[in-house]
Structure 1
Amino acid sequence: MNTTYWSWDTFFEALPIVLQGLGITVGLTITCYLFALLFGFVWTFLRRVPNKAFNWIITWVMEFIRSTPPLVQLFFIYYAFPMIPGIGLTLSPFTSAVIGLGVHFSTYIGEIYRSGIESVDKGQWEASRALNFTTVDKWKKIILPQAVPPTIPMLGNYFIIMFKEVPLASTISVAGIMFMANSYGAQNWSYLEPLTIVGIIFLLLSYPSAILIKKLEVKMNTRFDKNAIVKSDKKGAIM
């Protein structure tokens, strides 16, 4: 079927085929995001190691990952890893995508965590020392509960960004909606309709998510503004 114009018949023929990859696309997005959330903590705590040389190395590695296109990283993990002497690590397309995209976005999420941690009042750190909290209890009961909530809107934005970057995984044969659309187009010499379907799917999923994140951001900002007013009133009352 070779068409140079829009065809509704082709559209409805391609629709169920493209939708077959929706589960893979959504599953890959969630898996990559969870990986990035967890690995982001690794970068955050590594950067807090009190050693200038080590801290410089970690910072350089993070900058290198952020400065390198994720597509290049996916290709390197999937195609180059098996060729490294002494390692020869062969990964499935899905696993390669999770590691590549997960590590790439974890560097940004790590910075979000760092900003949240640095926003915690110094008095809270001093209070944890005064109460003789262990390191685990200090982070679990005092620091993280205060550092994470303000970062939720930014983390939500990165979830949407990651969802839109996941189609890159089609280049290493992850059978998501982009891969299915390209496969249909190659077999039928008709790319307009299947790629339009991909665009519609991303719009239908991304736009409501963006609205939800925006409402959450407004709610969180209102909440913290109220907390700031309460604290200010208390200080004024004490004075």
Structure 2
Amino acid sequence: MNFDYAFAWSIIPDLLRGLVVTIQVVVLGFLLAVLVGLILAITQGSKFVAVRRLTKAYLSFFRNTPLMVQLYVLFFAFPLAGITLPAISTGVIGLGLYYGTYIADAFRGAIDGIPAGQWDAAKALDFDTSTTWQRIVLPQTIKPMLPILGNYLIGMFKETPLLAVITIPELFQAAKQVAGMTYRYNEPYTLMALMFLAISIPTSLLFKYLERRSHV
């Protein structure tokens, strides 16, 4: 159970390479999730029944199946249909599609919270749909969503060990490889936990700061 500080120091470069991959996949996946969530929030309120039903089916599928299964399908089943994606792209898409279903609810709640009078005022001013969303709706939805988005971003970092199943060399996979080659487990997994904390805590503080700024 001894902790070898010299050994721990020597494996930091290997873990940092995994950390860079983790940050890359999570940030891109988060941006995709926000975009998907916004689209789903809008289509949930569509006047077309078929669009609402397709949205409901999408939400039901992604919320009721594990993320790991979705990653397996994207990475191992899709090539059987002739669709092959690089591992990192698969991870980004998998995280984005999965978390987008939950961010959609946050968007929908924020959109529903906008007073009806503001929609009526936009119509009275002859704003088109694009202008209404860009200048009135979206600026007001972002503020209440900041703490929710921060929680989901941190949650995505916690989910990244699942990406090891599709061979993405993220932080957990890097720690696992070091442990497998050296038969030392305390150092790589302890450093991995510290690195996750080094990401999660500043991320949480950043979103709290942005939330406070939005109320100024």
Q: TM-score, normalised by structure 1?
A: 0.83
Aligned to 1:54: 51
Q: Shift in Å at residue 48 of structure 1?
A: 1.9
Aligned to 1:214: 208
2:5 to 2, 5, 8: 8
* Residue of structure 2 in register with 1:131 after alignment: 125
Select 1:41's aligned residue among 38, 59, 62.
38
Match in the other structure for 1:198: 192
CA distance in 2 between partners of 1:119 and 1:190 (Å): 53
* Secondary structure of 1:41 counterpart: helix
- State the Cα deviation string for residues 90-124 of structure 1 (Å, max 9, x = none): 11100000110111011111111111111111000
Q: Give me the CA root mean square deviation.
A: 1.8
The number of aligned residues is 216
Following superposition, the deviation at residue 74 of structure 1 comes to: 0.8
Give the alignment's TM-score, normalised by structure 2.
Answer: 0.91
Distance 2:51 2:197 in 1: 43
Deviation, structure 1 residue 213: 2.7
1:26 to 18, 23, 26: 23
Q: Give the Å deviation of 1:51.
A: 2.9
Residues 96-175 of structure 1: matches in 2 within 5 Å? 96-175=90-169
- Aligned twin of 1:63: 60
1:168-202: CA deviation from partner (whole Å, max 9, x where unpaired): 21221111211111111111122221111110101
1:191 maps to amino acid: Y
Structure 2: where are the runs of 5+ without partners?
A: none
TM-aligned CA deviation for residue 21 of structure 1: 1.6
Residue in 2 aligned with 1:178? 172
Bigger Rg over Cα: 1
Cα drift, residue 211 of structure 1 = 3.1
- Is the Cα contact below 8 Å between 2:34 and 2:100 reproduced in 1? yes
